[in-house]
Structure 1
Amino acid sequence: MSNILEINNVSKSYQNFMLQNVSFALPEGCIMGLIGINGAGKTTLINSVLNLIRIDQGDIKIFGMEHGNLTTDAKEKLGVVYDENCLPEGLNIKEICNVFCRIYKSWDEKLYYSIIEKMEIPSSVSIGKMSRGNKIKVNLVVALTHHPRLLILDEITASLDPIMRNNVLAIFREFVQDEKNSILFSSHITTDLENVADYITFIDNGKLIFSMNKDSLLDDNLLIRCKESEFARLDKTFITAYENKPNGVIALASNQLKQYCLDELINFEEPTIEEIMLLITKGVR
C-alpha cells in the first residue's frame, strides 16, 4: 500500500504558537481523522499541506511529489473543502457548473448534478442565499466532481444536520472504495470519525500525540472509572492520563490493565475517540 500523503518533521512558528516536528502518513484507500481542540494546529497543518503557508522545517509529499512542486495535473487531483463557503455567492448551481467545467479537465457534469440531487441542494437560488449547510455541501460537490484522489476537509460536517451528515459519510465511504483515493478529514464531531475513519491523528498544542489505526486505538485502551483508593492501587505504568472527579477518578489506560480490573471488580469500558482526546488534553499525563 502506497502513501498518498507524507508529512515529515514539519514545523511552523508563529508569535504565540508552534507546530512542532509533526510526522505521519496517509495510505491510499483510507480515511484519516484529524482531531484536536481549537487552536491545536489542525488548520495550520492543513494549510501547510496545501502550501498556503510556508513551513519552517520538514517536508511534505503528495502523490510522491514535494507539495510545493505539484504539477497542474497533480493539483487537479486535490479536492479541498473548508468550513466556510469559497465559491462566488452570486452564482447558482448551473452557473457554478458552467464555470468549473472550464477550469478542470476532468470535470464530470453528470456526477455533479447527481450529487447535487443526492444532497438535496436547491438549484434555483444563488449560493449567497443558501443556508450555511447548503453552501458547504455545494463546495463539497465541486471538490468531488473533478475526480480527485485526495480530499482534504476542514470541519465541514459541523454545519450539517444529522441525516445529511450520514449521507455525506456514505459518500466518503464510496469515494475510498477506489483504493487510489484517500481523505484527510478534520472534525470536532468524533462520532463521525468513529463511523468512517481508518486512522486517527491527534494534535495537541502543535505537537503530534499519536497517529494510528482507529480500531487499534480503541482496542488498545480502556476507560477506567474508579474510586481514588482503587486508582491508587493501579500500576501507573499503564495509565496514559487521568482526571479527578467529585465522585472518583476517570483514567485512560492500556488494556493490559483489563484483567486486573476484572479481578478487582473495577469498572472499565472501551473509550470513545472524544474521551481519549479530552482526557489527554485536559487530564494529568
Structure 2
Amino acid sequence: MSNAIEIKHLEKRYEGFALRDVNITLPSGYIMGFIGENGAGKTTTIKAMMGLVRPDGGQIKILGGTMSDGDRELRENIGMVTEDYGLPAEADAVSIGRIMSGLYRTWDSRKFSGYMERFGLPVRKRVKDYSRGMKVKLSIAVALSHDSKLLVMDEATSGLDPAARDDVLDILRDFIQDESHSVFISSHILSDLEKVCDYITFIHRGRIVFSSEKDALTEKYGIVRCPKTELESIESSAVVAVRETGFGVEALVEREKVNPALITDNATIEDIMVMIIKEDEK
C-alpha cells in the first residue's frame, strides 16, 4: 500500500513555539483527521506539508514526492481548501473556471461544471455574495477539478451549519471511493471527524500525542465514572487523565489495564483529546 503523506521527524521552530519530532503517515485511500487545540501546531504542520514554510528538520513526502522540489505535476495532484477559501471575491464561477484553466494543465472544466451542478451553486453569482457553505463547496469543486489525488482541508468547515457540514462529509466519502484518493482534514468539530475519518492524529503543544486508526483509539480508551475513593482501586498506569464532576470523577483509562468487571463507557475522540489536554494543564 502506498502512502499519500509521510512525515518523519518534522521540526519547525518559532519564538515561543516549536514543532518537535512530528511523525504522520496517511495510507492512500483513507481520510485522516488532524486534531488539537488552537496553537497546537496544526496549521504550521499543514504549511510545511504544502511547502509554504521551510522545516528546520525532518522529511516530508506527499504522494511520493517533495513539495520543495517545485514539481508542478505534484502540485496539480493536491487540492487545498482553507478557512479563508482564497477565492477572488468579485469573481463568479465562470471567471474562476477561466483562471484555474490557466493555472492548472490538468484543469477539467467539465468536471468543475459537474460539481457546480451537483452542489447546486449559481455560476453567475459573485463569490462575495455566496453563503459560507456555498464558498466551502465552491472551494472543494475547484480543489477536485484538477486531477487531485490528495485533498487537504484546514478548518474549512468551521462555522457551517450541521446540514452543510454533512454535505461536505458526503463529498469526502465519495472522493475516496477511488482508492488512489486521500483526505487530510483539520477541524475542531470532532464529531464530524468521528463520522468520516479512518485515522486520527492528535497534536498538542507541537508534539504528536498519537496517530492511529480511529477504531483502535476507541477500543483502547474508555471512561470510568465513579466516586473519588474508588479511583484508588484502579491501577495507576491504566489512568490517563482524570476530571472531577459533581458526582465524583471521570477517568480516561486504557481498557486492557483495568478489571473487565469495572463498568467502562465508550470514550469519544473529543473525550480523549479534551481530557488529555486538561490533564497536561494541571
TM-score bucket of the superposed structures, by smaller chain = over 0.9
- Report what 2:48 is aligned to: 48
| Residues 223 and 253 in structure 2, CA contact (< 8 A), matched pair in contact too | yes
Task: Please show how residues 82-97 of structure 1 align to structure 2 within 5 Å.
Answer: 82-97=82-97
Gaps of 5+ in 2: none
Identity %: 38
Matched, 1:269 2:265: yes
The alpha-carbon deviation at position 267 of structure 1 amounts to 4.0
Contact 1:84/1:136 (<8 A) preserved = no
Report the equivalent of 2:210.
Answer: 210
1:59 aligned residue: 59
Question: 103-112 or 71-80, which moves further after superposition?
Answer: 103-112
Question: How many angstroms apart in 1 are the aligned matches of 2:127 and 2:67?
Answer: 31
Query: How far off its partner does 1:160 sit?
Result: 2.3
Kindly indicate whether the alpha-carbon contact (under 8 Å) linking 1:241 and 1:283 is maintained by their aligned counterparts in 2: yes
Residue 278 of structure 1 corresponds to: 274
Aligned residue for 1:142? Answer: 142
4+ long deviations beyond 4 Å: none
Which SS does the other structure have where 1:159 is aligned?
coil
For residues 49-93 of structure 1, give each alpha carbon's deviation from its aligned partner in whole angstroms, at most 9, with x where no partner exists.
111111111111112222311411111001011011301111101
Instruction: Give the drift of 1:246.
Output: 3.2
Matching of residues 1-285 of structure 1 within 5 Å: 1-257=1-257, 260=259, 262=261, 266-283=262-279
Asked if the contact 2:228/2:249 (under 8 Å) is kept, the reply is yes
Unmatched 5+ stretches in structure 1: none
Q: TM-score, normalised by structure 1?
A: 0.94
Q: Is the 8 A contact 2:10 2:59 kept in 1?
A: yes
Scaled by the length of structure 2, the TM-score of the pair is: 0.95
Aligned residues: 281
SS in 1 for 2:102: coil
Q: What one-letter code is carried by the residue in structure 1 that aligns with 2:242?
A: Y
Amino acid at match of 2:272: I
SS in 1 for 2:144: helix
1:96-135 Cα distance to aligned partner (Å, 9 max, x none): 1122122222222222122222223232321122222322
Alpha-carbon distance between aligned partners in 1 of 2:120 and 2:252, rounded to the nearest angstrom: 41
Cα displacement (A) at 1:257? 4.5
What is the DSSP-based 3-state SS (H/G/I as helix, E as strand, rest coil) of the residue aligned with 1:91? coil
**Which segment drifts farther, 207-216 or 229-238?**
229-238
Question: 2:85, 2:156 within 8 Å by CA — same for their partners in 1?
Answer: no
Q: Give 2:24's aligned amino acid.
A: F
Q: Which amino acid aligns with 1:71?
A: D
SS of equivalent to 1:233 = coil
Q: Is the 8 A contact 1:3 1:63 kept in 2?
A: yes
Take 2:184 and 2:33, find their aligned partners in 1: how far apart are those partners?
Answer: 6
